[in-house]
Amino acid sequence: MGNQSRGPTLSDVARAAQVSLATASRALNGGQRVVGPELRGRIEEAARRLGYVPNAHAQALAGGTTSTVGLVLHDITDPYFAAIARGAIAAASDQGSLVMVGSTFRSTARELDFVRTFRAQRVDAIVLAGSGFDDDGYRAAMTEELDGQRRAGGGYAFVSEHHIPGHVVLPDNHGGAAALGRALADLGHRRLAVAGGPSHLTTVQHRIDGFVRGAEAGGVPASCIDRIDHPFSEDGGRAAARELLDGGCRATALFCVSDVMAMGALDELTAAGVAVPKDLSLVGFNDVPTMRRLTPPVSTVRLDLETMGRTAMELALDRSASGFRTVHVPAELVLRSSTAPVGVDVPSRENA
């Protein structure tokens, strides 16, 4: 459905103020001191009286500015994306731009679709905040779409690696996860489990790689690290914990590649009577706000998500630079009480 009836237009205003269309345009939407104060006043009053609202589409079409940007993410209720969105929205707002949000719920088709729609809207910039998908077809299609965006004079930027040319805000997934793995190893853990999401998400790959590398550095051979894959979500975390338990858990520590998964896992573990960290240490990634409030507070790696979103939007909006930039974001290890040294007790899942 489009808007059928129309409101007052610029010519209505011009007529009411007894000036030419061009003058009205300059007075209302043009730069400053270009129209005589007398006319300007008359025009502004007429506009107010008539309830004139400029038609952004006409403005855009006539070569004016659009001042809109697009943001593609998976799910706004996921605190990870919400934080990124907050930063991106704030940055856009600072430059006077409106943000259009597309929720993909992890579908690459939907993601491509949104980029296309944003292009149709002639947005000035697009920020892609999903995880990159390690899929050639997707990558080729997205690359083409984004090339178009660029040729049309617009910008774009990624949050986290997508293996597609463009500006990138790159959190230190590898390093952060390595610190986590190392910390666990140093705590004496010798049998680790990692609950990863779908392995075609580049973020997941990097975190797992880093974790394994860190653990190895701490003396835990990769062969002692079990890997279980489940969706990158709270339910996925729950499922991972269940699988771990059902399989006769031999690990003394569990790394969930994202906090949201860790939350689900903690739920499940607690329900099953597994004590954290006594029976099993638990770590997540991102340091989403509720992590510190859980029982026990969960160790994780902190990323400044809001700044990441803001930076990505700034990069996407910056049409000055020539080449593509990569902004590295540090990851900070945050140890809380969900991690403890391995005790002499053999961990089991039968005690409170």
Partner DNA sequence: CTGTTAGCGCTTTCAG
Partner DNA sequence: CTGAAAGCGCTAACAG
Task: Write out the residues near DNA by the rule CB under 7 A.
Answer: 6, 9-11, 19-23, 25-26, 28-30, 33-36, 38-40, 52, 54-55, 58-59, 61-64
d(CA 14, CA 94): 31
Name residue 138's amino acid.
Answer: Y
CA dihedral 107, 111, 112, 113 (to 10 degrees): 100
d(CA 29, CA 58): 12
d(CA 269, CA 248): 13
Q: Residue 26 binds what, of its own copies, DNA, none (CB under 5 to 8 Å, by partner type)?
A: DNA
User: Which residues partner with 196 through β-bridges?
Assistant: 229
User: Among 286, 232, 293, 267, which Cα is nearest to 75's?
Assistant: 232
Q: Residue 283 binds what, of its own copies, DNA, none (CB under 5 to 8 Å, by partner type)?
A: none
Residue 124 or 172 having the CB closest to its own copies: 124
* Other beta carbons less than 10 A from residue 324's beta carbon: 12
Residue 59 or 108 having the CB closest to its own copies: 59
Residue 66 or 202 having the CB closest to its own copies: 66
At residue 264, what are phi and psi to the nearest 5 degrees? -65, -40
Q: Residue 108 binds what, of its own copies, DNA, none (CB under 5 to 8 Å, by partner type)?
A: none
Q: Residue 187 binds what, of its own copies, DNA, none (CB under 5 to 8 Å, by partner type)?
A: none
Q: Residue 39 binds what, of DNA, its own copies, none (CB under 5 to 8 Å, by partner type)?
A: DNA
Q: Six-digit token pair at 35?
A: 């129209």
Q: Which residues contact 234 (CB under 8 A, 6 or more apart)?
A: 260, 261, 263, 264, 267
What is the separation of C-alpha 33 from the centre of its chain, rounded to a whole number of angstroms? 42
Nearest distance from residue 96's CB to DNA, in Å? 14
Bridge-based pairing of strands 300-302 and 332-334 is: antiparallel
Residue 64 or 198 having the CB closest to its own copies: 64
Residue 8: asked if its preceding bond is cis (omega within 30°), the reply is no
Q: Could you tell me if 224 and 184 are in contact, meaning their C-beta atoms sit under 8 angstroms apart? A: no
Nearest distance from residue 334's CB to DNA, in Å? 49
Nearest distance from residue 41's CB to its own copies, in Å? 21
Residue 21 or 321 having the CB closest to DNA: 21
What is the separation of C-alpha 314 from the centre of its chain, rounded to a whole number of angstroms? 14
Residue 68 or 205 having the CB closest to DNA: 68
Residue 114 or 211 having the CB closest to its own copies: 114
Q: Residue 21 binds what, of its own copies, DNA, none (CB under 5 to 8 Å, by partner type)?
A: DNA
Nearest distance from residue 24's CB to DNA, in Å? 7
Residue 52 or 133 having the CB closest to DNA: 52
Q: Which residues bind its own copies (CB under 8 A)?
A: 1-7, 51, 53-61, 63-68, 75-77, 79, 82-83, 85-86, 89-90, 93, 98-103, 114, 116-117, 119-122, 124, 144, 148, 151-154, 263, 267, 290, 293-295, 306, 317, 319
d(CA 195, CA 232): 9
Q: Residue 11 binds what, of its own copies, DNA, none (CB under 5 to 8 Å, by partner type)?
A: DNA
Nearest distance from residue 328's CB to its own copies, in Å? 24
